[in-house]
Chains A and B, each alone.
Chain A
Amino acid sequence: MSPSPSSIIVRGSIDALPLFIPAIPFAFVFGVVVANAGIPGWLGWSSSPIIFGGAIQVTLFTLLGEGASVAAAVSAALIVGARHLFYSLTLAPRFQDQPAWFRWVGSYVLIDQVFVLIQTKSIEEPAIFRRYFLATGFTFWALWMIFTALGILLGPAIPESWGVEFAAPVLFVSLMMAASDRRDKLIAAGIAMGITLAFSHLPHRAGILIAVAVSVGIMLLIHRRQS
C-alpha cells in the first residue's frame, strides 16, 4: 500500500525542520547585513520571497552596502549561487516524468537542503517525489520568510561569541555523509574538500564550482579505468 498524500506531506515537513535549525543564526546575520547596508527593512526582506537563497541574499546586500555597482553585486551573488545549476542538472531526470507546473514551482524552492534531502531518499513514484519535494521546499520557504523578518526586526539577537554559525558547516557535513552512501561517493567528497581548500582564495566562493566539476571528472576517469 502506498502512503497517503497527507502523510507524505507531513513527513516531508518534519524532515525539513531539523535542517532549518542552522539557518536560524544565518537569518539573523542577514538582518544585520541589511541594516549595515542602510537598506529599508521591508525592501531587504522582499529578497527572501524574490531570491529565496540565504548566501545569495547576504552576498548581494554585503556588496551593495560596500558601494558596489548593481551589475557587480548581482553577478557576484549569482556566482555564489551558481551551484544551483548542478542541482538543476542532477534533478533533471527526476523532473522528466512530472507535470509542467511542478517544473515551474519546484525550481523555485530548489535549495541546498531540499536538494540533498531528496537525493538521500530513494523515492521512485513521481507523485510521492513531487509531494515530498514541495512539502520540504515550502516548509523551508515559510520558515525562511518568518526568520528573515525576525532577523531584520531583532538584528544581532544572538551574541557572536556563542559561535552558533558553526551549526551550518556541522549540518552540511552531516548531509555530506548522508549523501555519501557508497565508498566512491565519500572519496569524491574527500577530493572535493581538498580542491576547495586549494582554490579557497578565489572570490565569491568560485572554488566550490571548480571542486565539484573536477572531483566528478576524476571519479569518472577512475571508473573508466576500472571497467
Chain B
Amino acid sequence: MIATAIILTGLGSYAMRAFFIFALARYSFPPIMLRAIEYVAPTVMAALVISMMTSAEGKLTAGWAESLGLLLAATVAKFTGNHILSLLVGMGSFWAIRWIM
C-alpha cells in the first residue's frame, strides 16, 4: 500500500515535470506566451516564501525576526547576487533578533 502510494506519486510528479517539455516540443511559442513564462520564476519563488511563512490555517507566522531576516536577505541578494552571503545575512539577523528579543 505504501509502495503503491510512492510509485503513483513518483509517476505523477515525473509526469508533471515532463508534461509541457514533451507536449510543446514542436510548438512555436507566440510572443504573449514567451512574455508570460518570464514571470513564472519570480512569482513561484514569492509564493513559496509566503507559503512557508503561513500556518496551515492561513495565519502569517512571521514575526520581527523572520520579517527582518527575509528583508535583509532580499537586499543582499539584490545588490550582490550572492546566495551564500544572502543566506548568512538572513539567518544571522534572524538569530540575532531572536536572541535580543
Contacts and interface: CB of A to CB of B under 8 A. Distances in A.
**Which of B29, B38, B43, B60 has the most A CB atoms < 10 Å from its CB?**
B43
A216 B47 contact: no
B2 A43 contact: yes
Interface string A77-113: 1100111111111111101100000011011101010
A70 B8 contact: yes
Contacts of B51: 196, 200, 205, 207-208
A18 B83 CA distance: 7
Interface string B78-89: 100101101100
B44 A86 contact: yes
Contact of A170 (B9, B24, B73): B73
Contacts, number: 265
A103 to B, nearest CB: 5
A52 B48 contact: no
B58 A89 contact: no
A167 interface: yes
Contacts of B56: 203
Question: Interface majority SS on B: helix, strand, loop or mixed?
Answer: helix
A15 to B, nearest CB: 9
B70 A169 contact: yes
A35 interface: no
B17 A166 contact: no
Contacts of A84: 13, 16-17
Interface in A11-34: 18-19, 21-22
A90 B16 CA distance: 13
A159 interface: no
Interface string A55-94: 0110010001000001001100110011111111111110
B95 interface: yes
Q: Which 10 A-B pairs have the closest CB atoms?
A: A201-B58, A170-B90, A176-B45, A107-B18, A50-B10, A179-B41, A177-B77, A192-B43, A189-B46, A174-B86
